[in-house]
Amino acid sequence: MQIKEILEGKKNILITGGLGFIGCNLIRSLLINSEVNIFNIDKVGYASNPNSIKNLLRENPQYESRYKFFRENLTNKEEIKKIIDHSNPDLIMHLAAESHVDKSIESPIDFINSNILGTFNILEEARNFYNKLVGDKKLNFRFHHISTDEVFGSIINNRFMEESPYRPNSPYSASKASSDHLVRAWNKTYGLPTIITNCSNNFGPWQFHEKLIPLTINQAINNKNIPLYGDGSNIRDWIFIDDHVEALIIAANFGKSGSTYCIGSENEKTNKEVIESICALLDKFCVKDYPHSKLIKFVKDRPGHDKRYAINPNKINMELGWFPKYSFEEGLKKTVLWYLKNIKSN
Ligand SMILES: NC(=O)c1ccc[n+]([C@@H]2O[C@H](COP(=O)([O-])OP(=O)(O)OC[C@H]3O[C@@H](n4cnc5c(N)ncnc54)[C@H](O)[C@@H]3O)[C@@H](O)[C@H]2O)c1
């Protein structure tokens, strides 16, 4: 099914955090592949990427009338109320969050404010808005909370599922777990029609270079050391951004109110394997007189570093018919080539 068909009947989508990595890829896809109006709230933090959308609009001015940006912090409840009323959404997709685990260890307060207080504010204003709706608009309204598999903590055997217990280990994952609980409670207590999705590690174009894959590419093309935590054996389950974006659109539109869906592509890799794969691609596409793997430098492990994340995506596969389209290798090649084209070496 095409994205346009999936979104049939939807006119306005309000997205929070739409200048971040996942948000900007989602908005780009919605502008290109549908006719919905997009309202984007983002505080424009250090990880935001305004060019991601500016570039698209410059090349495709016909999308401009369907896109409206609000530079606002979710902690500002009064302004959030005004934006929701102005945008009159059929669907709210809530992605805004502080998202970097290392930063959450250094400065947890930012994570409490954005991820917990920010989620509370948008939930409350979504509830006030929802309560005023009538008819089909009320029946079809959804609040979609975009979350992470990190809320489940670390797993040695088996894989995370929707019923897995919450065991967050970092201030980041604890703040996301809190926000998931708030969303659940707003559904159970106030009847707000919510969907929660918990996804594994994303990679692809427009990701800020603090995260493993863009950091590795950036360091390598600039002939700088590539840091690798501990012995490099921590395992993450990787999903290419386009697959996550499609899963989000499907879950937001076809997911059952009050449900949770785990999203993943069944691509478990150690951090060392990921970095070595990037180095091998760079050896091919950015030839130097030494192998890029020479730059790998083992560094002291991060405190509370989760050993393994792995998602069992059976529910979203079977209930909503979503399956990933990209293998890890295809996604990584696309990603490396994108960064080589879009990031200049120093
Ligand atoms: N990146 C991943 O691998 C991954 C995996 C699973 C889930 N998620 C979740 O998806 C969402 C988006 O992740 P991302 O990787 O795009 O993050 P990101 O850090 O790249 O972007 C987050 C965006 O949210 C904005 N933001 C943060 N706090 C805000 C606030 N208080 N008010 C307004 N805007 C605010 C930032 O300015 C930024 O543009 C997050 O909720 C994250 O927990 C991410």
pLDDT along the chain (346 residues), means of 10: 94 98 98 98 97 97 98 98 98 98 96 98 98 98 98 95 97 98 98 98 95 96 95 96 98 98 98 98 96 96 90 98 98 97 71
pLDDT given for residue 343 in this prediction: 80
Q: How far is the CA of 44 from the centre of ligand 1 (A)?
A: 11
Choosing from 21, 213, 271 the residue with most ligand 1 atoms within 8 A of its CB, the one to mutate for a pocket test is 21
- The residue extents of the domains of the chain are 3-202+241-266+310-325
Q: Is 331 near ligand 1, meaning CB less than 6 Å away?
A: no
Q: Is 44 near ligand 1, meaning CB less than 6 Å away?
A: yes
Q: State whether CATH 1.10.10.10 applies to domain 3-202+241-266+310-325.
A: no
pLDDT given for residue 346 in this prediction: 42
pLDDT given for residue 304 in this prediction: 82
Ligand 1 closest atom vs CA 72: 33
pLDDT given for residue 193 in this prediction: 98
Beta bridge partner(s), residue 91: 13, 142
C-alpha distances in Å from residue 224, one per residue of 94, 102, 219, 277, 286: 36, 20, 5, 17, 14
Q: How far is the CA of 291 from the centre of ligand 1 (A)?
A: 34
| Residue carrying the six token digits 């478990």 | 268
End-to-end Cα spacing for the chain: 43
Q: Is 172 near ligand 1, meaning CB less than 6 Å away?
A: no
Q: Is 53 near ligand 1, meaning CB less than 6 Å away?
A: no
Q: Is 48 near ligand 1, meaning CB less than 6 Å away?
A: yes
pLDDT given for residue 218 in this prediction: 96
Q: Which of 94, 268, 92, 103 is nearest to 171 (CA)?
A: 103
- Residue 197 tokens, joined: 């999705």
Amino acid at residue number 265? S
Chain CA centroid to CA 137, Å: 27
Q: How far is the CA of 94 from the centre of ligand 1 (A)?
A: 9
Q: How far is the CA of 135 from the centre of ligand 1 (A)?
A: 33
